[in-house]
Structure 1
Amino acid sequence: MKFRRGILLFIIGVVLVAYFTKPSKDGFIKFIQPAVSRTQIPPVVDYQDQFLYALVTATYIDAGNPVKEGGRIVAPTRKETYIGVFGRYWKQAP
């Protein structure tokens, strides 16, 4: 009985810590600042606030290396997805 109660209290504690330490959009901007300083173009950020975590999709635009596609010159892009929980952001694998 004590073991189950301990496990239940542990799970409730982890959920509360995750809820109160969920990182913000400003925190992501500070986290991604080194990548912005290399390219000089900040990424387009799509921030989704979930209950216990945050999902962020950053779209990087490479305007310095345009490519010709379909008769037009376009700037290539790449997307990266991050998950924010416990006050930190982690990059998700593609």
Structure 2
Amino acid sequence: MKFRRGILLFIIGVLLVAYFTKPSKDGFIKWMQPVVSRTHNPPVVDYQDKFLYALVTATYVDAGNPVKENNRVVAPSSKETYIGVFGRYWKQ
């Protein structure tokens, strides 16, 4: 019985820590600052606040190197998804 109670308290503790250390959108912007200073264009950030974690989609547009496609000049872009939990962001 003590083992089950200990495991249950451990799980509840991990869930509480995840809830209270969920990073914010401002934290993501500060975390991405080295990338922004390198490319000079900040990404378009889509921040989704979930209950225990944060899901962030960053879209990078490279307007400095346009590409000609179908007789039009377009700027290439790429998307990256990050998950934020326990005060940090990880790339998915």
Q: Give the match's secondary structure for 1:68.
A: strand
Tell me how far apart the structure 2 counterparts of residues 54 and 43 of structure 1 sit (CA, whole Å): 17
Aligned residues: 92
Q: Name the CA distance, whole Å, in 2 between partners of 1:57 and 1:70.
A: 28
Question: What is the letter of the counterpart of residue 59 of structure 2?
Answer: T
Q: Which residue of 1 aligns with 2:25?
A: 25
The answer for the alignment partner of 2:54 in structure 1 is 54
Give structure 2 stretches of 5+ with no counterpart. none
Identity %: 86
TM-score normalised by the chain length of structure 2:
0.99
5+ unaligned residues in a row in structure 1: which ranges? none
Within a 5 Å distance, the mapping from 1:34-49 to structure 2 comes to: 34-49=34-49
1:70 Cα deviation after fit: 1.4
**Quick one: which amino acid aligns to residue 19 of structure 2?**
Y
TM-score (normalizing by structure 1)? 0.97
Listed as ranges, the matches of 1:1-94 within 5 Å are 1-92=1-92
